[in-house]
């Protein structure tokens, strides 16, 4: 038996709340069962009215009317769709009746989302049962109101921005069902939803190709989340880092995200400590932050996959990138044209400076040789700079102690891929040494540099780090060490806990 519009209006009138409730309910006659809904909502309101807090009572009155009006409007819309069967309407009614038994569940958000999804997909909403099942789970597990609201907001924004096919929505529900069953803390789950929303609902004006890209990306993301959940026993903090990194990548749309996701799935096959994942995700975000993702993102991810146990992510720390970026900025003022010139990095490590150099002025850059005593570091450097290596040796490494270079003769010995050695006799335009703090017998090394050579040097006062055998207290002490006849640039960069010193000049 249905409740009449008049009876519903009478109950509404008892609330002393204005509104076009009667008109809304009057249009909802027919197969839409209102009496049980009104009774459940009304009984909940009567419980609240027993409380003396006037604010709670007023809030409950407003919620009663909002839920009832939204419900009748949604029902009226669904009943007008030819694609919605009577069984599906009954499923919707049954679910909403179930939700009404949870006073804190944001029923208004559910109704708006349901209306929105049907509007967005029309005749193609063949995954309604998956959606209803997911919502029921949210209620039964008594997920917090804030988190449930975040979930509905995410679904609405995605529906407005990118028309996912049914299989991706099914994956979406399956993935987040998995996350909720593992009792993730609320803030993490909210970040997960926000990461998905950041896939960008600008596709209203986007091409079909971009929409297809986003669909594939979502499918890959959801697959990765499930694999990580199964293979990697991450604590909450690492999951938070993962979703934070995804948000960076989704927004940038530059970083090779598929490579990142694939690498994550492969790396999860082996047991890796939490520090590995934390540093990997942070390094990935720094690539985006410093606009390096487009030119070296793919090589970075592939290098991590090839050398997961050897690579040190510190080369992409904020301090490492920022200090080299500032040095390069100053160097290009002094030497604006390095085209067809040779630049030699001493203690080059993974050759990050080369990436920054070619990023800054690729057309005005010749070749970069990176000298490092660590052969493993050079293997990683050539993998990381693979495109530059393949482009006529614009980047190449030399395994050698910096004390053993033939500075007077400007003679360098390079190893080819077939093992053969090739000689290069060319005077460098500049020697760059960003790791002076690591050089033992610094004075002996400096004595080998020919007069009139341009040096770009960096050191620091971070005595606390292992391997820092030649730190200086301040830039004045560094100038005495460097013994430059002319100084073109001197700078001090302050970082947390230490300072880095820059000198550019001529011997």
Q: Are 437 and 500 in contact (CB under 8 A)?
A: no
Q: Is residue 300 part of a domain?
A: no
- Phi–psi pair at 426, nearest 5 degrees: -155, 130
Distance CA 236, CA 219 (A): 23
Q: Is residue 257 part of a domain?
A: no
Q: Is residue 376 part of a domain?
A: yes
Amino acid 94: pLDDT: 83
Q: Report the CATH number that the domain containing residue 390 is assigned in CATH.
A: 3.40.50.150
Tell me: the pLDDT tens digits for 130-143?
889 999 988 888 88
Amino acid 122: pLDDT: 67
Q: What is the mean pLDDT of residues 293-321?
A: 92
- Least confident range of 62-76, 123-137, 301-315: 62-76
Q: Is residue 102 part of a domain?
A: no
Q: How many CA atoms lie within 13 A of 391 on its CB side?
A: 12
Q: Is residue 235 part of a domain?
A: no
Query: What tokens appear for 393 in the block?
Result: 């040796």
Amino acid 143: pLDDT: 83
Q: Sorting pLDDT into bands at 50, 70 and 90, what band is 213?
A: low
Q: Sorting pLDDT into bands at 50, 70 and 90, what band is 53?
A: low
* Long-range residue pairs from 19-25, CB within 8 A, at least 24 positions apart, any chain: 19/65, 19/69, 20/69, 21/65, 21/68, 21/69, 24/68, 24/69, 24/72, 24/73, 25/68, 25/72
Q: What pTM, to 2 d.p., does this model score? A: 0.69
Q: What is the mean pLDDT of residues 227-232?
A: 79
- Domain holding 457, by residue range, is 319-506
Contacts of 387 (CB under 8 A, 6+ apart): 295, 299
Tell me: the pLDDT tens digits for 463-483?
998 889 999 999 999 999 999
Q: Is residue 419 part of a domain?
A: yes
Q: Is residue 476 part of a domain?
A: yes
Q: Is residue 381 part of a domain?
A: yes
- Least confident range of 150-159, 220-229, 348-357: 220-229
Domain count, the chain: 1
């Amino acid at each position: 038996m249905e409740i009449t519009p008049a009876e519903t209006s009478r109950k509404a009138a008892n609330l002393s709340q204005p509104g076009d409730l009667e008109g809304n309910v009057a249009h909802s006659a027919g197969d839409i069962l209102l009496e049980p809904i009104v009774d459940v909502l009304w009984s909940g309101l009567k419980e609240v009215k027993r409380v003396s807090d006037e604010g709670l009572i007023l809030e409950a009155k407003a919620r009663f009317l909002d839920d009832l009006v939204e419900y009748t409007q949604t029902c009226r819309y669904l009943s007008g769709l030819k694609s919605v069967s009577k069984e599906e309407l009954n499923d919707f009614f049954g679910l909403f009746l179930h939700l009404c038994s949870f006073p804190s569940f944001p029923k208004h958000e559910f109704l708006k989302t349901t209306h929105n999804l049907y509007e967005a997909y029309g005749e193609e909403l063949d995954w309604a049962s998956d959606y209803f099942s997911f919502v029921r789970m949210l209620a039964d597990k008594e997920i917090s109101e804030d988190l449930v609201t975040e979930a509905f907001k995410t679904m609405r924004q995605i529906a407005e921005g990118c028309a996912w096919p049914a299989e991706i929505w099914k994956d979406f529900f399956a993935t987040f069902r998995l996350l909720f069953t593992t009792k993730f803390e609320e803030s993490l789950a909210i970040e997960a939803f926000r990461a998905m929303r950041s896939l960008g609902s600008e596709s209203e004006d986007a091409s079909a190709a971009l929409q297809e890209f986003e669909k594939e990306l979502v499918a890959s993301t959801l697959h990765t989340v499930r694999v990580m959940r199964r293979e990697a026993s991450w604590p909450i903090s690492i999951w938070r880092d993962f979703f934070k990194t995804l948000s960076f990548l989704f927004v940038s749309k530059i970083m090779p995200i598929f490579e990142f996701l694939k690498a994550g799935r492969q790396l999860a096959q082996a047991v890796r400590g939490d520090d590995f994942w934390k540093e990997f995700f942070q390094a990935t975000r720094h690539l985006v932050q410093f606009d390096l993702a487009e030119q070296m993102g793919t090589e970075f991810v592939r290098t991590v996959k090839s050398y997961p146990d050897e690579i040190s992510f510190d080369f992409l720390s904020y301090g490492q990138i920022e200090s080299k970026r500032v040095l390069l900025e100053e160097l290009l003022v002094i030497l604006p044209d390095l085209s067809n010139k040779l630049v030699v990095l001493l203690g080059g490590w993974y050759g990050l400076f080369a990436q920054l150099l070619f990023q800054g002025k690729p057309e005005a850059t010749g070749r970069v040789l990176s000298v490092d005593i660590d052969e493993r570091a050079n293997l990683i450097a050539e993998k990381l700079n693979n495109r530059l290596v393949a482009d006529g040796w614009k980047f190449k490494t030399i395994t050698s102690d910096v004390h053993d270079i033939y500075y007077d003769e400007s003679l360098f010995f390079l190893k080819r891929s077939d093992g053969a050695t090739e000689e290069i006799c060319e005077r460098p335009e500049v020697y760059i040494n960003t790791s002076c703090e690591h050089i033992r017998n610094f004075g002996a090394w400096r004595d080998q540099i020919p007069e009139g050579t341009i040096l770009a040097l960096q050191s620091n006062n971070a005595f606390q780090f292992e391997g820092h055998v030649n730190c200086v207290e301040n830039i004045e002490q560094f100038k005495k060490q460097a013994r430059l006849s002319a100084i073109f640039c001197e700078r001090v960069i302050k970082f947390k806990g230490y300072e880095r010193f820059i000198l550019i000049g001529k011997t």
